[in-house]
Structure 1
Amino acid sequence: MIDLRSDTVTKPTLKMRQAAFEAEVGDDVFEEDPTVQRLELKAAEMLGKESALFVTSGTQGNQIAALTHCQPGDEVLMEEEAHIFLYEGASMSALAGVQPRTIKGTNGAMDPEEVRSKIRPENVHFPDTSLICIENTHNKAGGAVVPLENMQAIYEIAREHGIPVHLDGARLFNASIASGISVRRFADQTDSVQFCLSKGLGAPAGSIIAGSTEFIRKARKWRKRLGGGLRQVGMIAAPGLIALEEMVERLEEDHSNARLLAEGIGNIPGLKVEKAVETNIVLVNVEECQRTAEQFLDQLRENGILAVPFGPYTIRFVTHFDVSEEEIQITVRRMAEMVNQFKKL
């Protein structure tokens, strides 16, 4: 199978497996795991933040941020197709007791003046706006990079109102490689950041959240409350260090493969690439093939290709470390043959 469902399916490299085997460990709840400490220090330095915390997943990291920044009954602003809103099980409401308020974006980017207009004024009838969330890259926008200038404008508005900004940077390093802008410069426009080690960076598990020393002090307690206080977790953190040291620059290979995939699919009559491909995500509309996304995916699976539905007629493909350029070419060829067979039925 050529697995293009997500970059989460990557397998750890041999060096990551060796690092896990040899990791120096301690009890991380007691803050005694030296490997975790090295990972957190390196992540904080890369992002230009005072401190960082290793967490079990991106969702946990985002929810810890909400719990740390907000109080029950508050309101959080975010783009209407944000991962936090669509794909995290309403955990922000269930756990933090806050109300999401969504804003329609363009390629995942919110209009700063629209953000300004949605900040609640002081009124007994209104919740307090206590957090603004930005997602970069933006998953539902096809891996689009939210421009630095857009983030800067939103951050300035947030500062005017004393509201923190949290970045769901699950694929932040993809944004950096695609734009040529350092992760530190993106992180400068935020009060807290989450990024995944287990997507394009290829580690087997884990994410990082980063912010001020005081933010991380409070976040550590929320991580414990959520059951995320692991013990000898250096065995998982060690591959994360390898990911940050060796897997960042190679993300350009994934982006190149995604462009190759999009170009090939775009030449198949009946298939339409929906968004400009900026990073490692390709969205394809199959409606002209007289198939739903699910029906098309069933046929793809029979042809040895895995992807996921992203709408009634939209399919998402994600390139990653375990998919080669040759496999991209095979995917395009098999899809062309498959679509041609549809026309004969």
Structure 2
Amino acid sequence: MTVPPVGPPVDLRSDTVTRPDARMRAAMASAEVGDDVLDGDPTMRALEAKVSELLGTEDALWVPSGSMGNLIALCVHLERGDRFLAPDRAHILDLEAGTAAWLAGGMPRALPWTAGPGVPDPSDISRAVAPGGPYFALRDRLLCLENTHGAAGGTVTTASQHRRLVAAAHDSGLLVHLDGARLWNAASALGVAPAVLAEGADTVQVCLSKGLGAPVGSVLAGSAEFVRQARRVRKMLGGGVRQGGVLAAAGLVALERQDRLAVDHEHALLLAAGLADRGWKTAPPQTNIVAVPVHDPAGTVARLGQVGILTLPTDTGVRMITHCDVSRHDIIRTINAFPPPA
């Protein structure tokens, strides 16, 4: 007999499921707005300027999603017949519906995780780039990094690793785009400013609707000239946002909450440790993603759902992501919902 859930569901499927709280909704309701396409929206510009400052770039552009931000960067950086490199299983390779090839016209090449989960080694870049070659060869143009690397379990690329990868890319004649959807989590885990982890990258995408809790939106940052081109590509993709200040206001509130990401990381560590105590082979997470190897991922997810614990299956187990709408009590309830492994 199925045991009914005690209390509302605990949603650990992603940190994208968060809902804006009363303060964020009030900021949205009272936001000063304009027409971002025609005259500019003052709240949107304030958000873009703030993110640009945090990342150490000249300018920035709000976009509806991180996938659109990554796609715009590739559209600006690549020409048809160009190749881009990215760590194996990067979001830009596996989880963006193939738009890198379909719309940006780039041919992807996955790099191995030589320097740790989700992290290539600089030597992988130099080996992958083919100098010269006949006219019909692919042209290596861009390196796309991801920090944190979601498919690797929210793993962090350190500042020193990032600098070496960027230097290797530039030495090989490549531009660098950083998919920093969870860069805030990486910065929190390492105790450094986000700009330190974006240093040297030509463009950076950061998400506001994951750990920071905004309802929607990412920001794409780079040089002033890049943002000028990116704004045009955003429009070509249907991304004129008009009175976007209503959404930007939520982003400004979200940026004030970077410090609380440490709580999500503590909850993830608590969850992993609790499951390990119950016999599950769960490694301590670096940030807010907990991966649990199980023999029957889909069945395990279904059984947890029956008692109000919402998770997602992976190829090898169950994935859970902590966020601002998950309490310590929810973590304890989740641990107790896992039976000892067979």
Query: Could you tell me whether the CA contact under 8 Å between 2:48 and 2:219 is conserved in 1?
Result: yes
Report the AA paired with residue 166 of structure 2: Y
The normalised TM-score by structure 2 is 0.95
Q: 1:208 aligns with which of 219, 224, 243?
A: 219
Residue 68 of structure 2 is matched in structure 1 by: 60
Select the structure that is richer in helix. Answer: 1
| Partner SS for 2:173 | coil
Structure 1 residue 328 corresponds to structure 2 residue 338: no
How big is each residue's C-alpha offset from its partner over 1:267-321, in whole Å with a ceiling of 9 and x where there is no partner?
223x321x4411000000112xxxx10011110000110010121x311000000
Q: 1:315 aligns with which of 314, 318, 333?
A: 318
Query: Could you tell me whether the CA contact under 8 Å between 2:273 and 2:284 is conserved in 1?
Result: no
Query: Could you tell me whether the CA contact under 8 Å between 2:158 and 2:197 is conserved in 1?
Result: no
Following the alignment from structure 2 to structure 1, what is the Cα–Cα distance between the partners of residues 172 and 120?
17
Following the alignment from structure 2 to structure 1, what is the Cα–Cα distance between the partners of residues 268 and 51?
27
Which stretches in structure 2 are left out of the alignment for 5+ residues?
Answer: 1-8
Residue 85 of structure 1 is matched in structure 2 by: 93
Which stretches in structure 1 are left out of the alignment for 5+ residues?
Answer: none
Q: CA deviation at 1:31?
A: 4.4
Q: 2:281 aligns with which of 250, 272, 285?
A: 272
Residue 43 of structure 2 is matched in structure 1 by: 35
Following the alignment from structure 1 to structure 2, what is the Cα–Cα distance between the partners of residues 142 and 31?
42
Following the alignment from structure 1 to structure 2, what is the Cα–Cα distance between the partners of residues 112 and 310?
29
Residue 301 of structure 1 is matched in structure 2 by: 305
| Partner SS for 1:266 | helix
Query: Could you tell me whether the CA contact under 8 Å between 1:25 and 1:35 is conserved in 2?
Result: yes
Following the alignment from structure 1 to structure 2, what is the Cα–Cα distance between the partners of residues 240 and 94?
30
Q: CA deviation at 1:323?
A: 0.4
| Deviation beyond 6 Å, 4+ runs, structure 1 | none
| Partner SS for 1:236 | helix
Q: 2:158 aligns with which of 125, 147, 150?
A: 147
| Partner SS for 1:158 | helix
Residue 188 of structure 1 is matched in structure 2 by: 199
Q: 1:116 aligns with which of 119, 123, 126?
A: 126
Residue 166 of structure 1 is matched in structure 2 by: 177
Report the AA paired with residue 253 of structure 1: V
Query: Could you tell me whether the CA contact under 8 Å between 1:33 and 1:233 is conserved in 2?
Result: yes
Identity across matched positions, percent: 44
Following the alignment from structure 2 to structure 1, what is the Cα–Cα distance between the partners of residues 264 and 229?
36
| Partner SS for 1:77 | strand
| Partner SS for 1:193 | strand
Q: CA deviation at 1:168?
A: 0.3
| Partner SS for 2:132 | coil
Q: CA deviation at 1:161?
A: 3.1
Q: CA deviation at 1:141?
A: 1.1
319-328 or 260-269: which moved more?
260-269
| Partner SS for 2:16 | helix
Structure 1 residue 227 corresponds to structure 2 residue 241: no
In the superposition, relative to structure 1, how do residues 79 and 23 fare at CA in structure 2: closer, same or farther (>3 Å)?
A: same
Query: Could you tell me whether the CA contact under 8 Å between 2:82 and 2:139 is conserved in 1?
Result: yes
Report the AA paired with residue 328 of structure 1: I
How big is each residue's C-alpha offset from its partner over 1:93-117, in whole Å with a ceiling of 9 and x where there is no partner?
0101110011111311111001111
Following the alignment from structure 1 to structure 2, what is the Cα–Cα distance between the partners of residues 276 and 220?
40
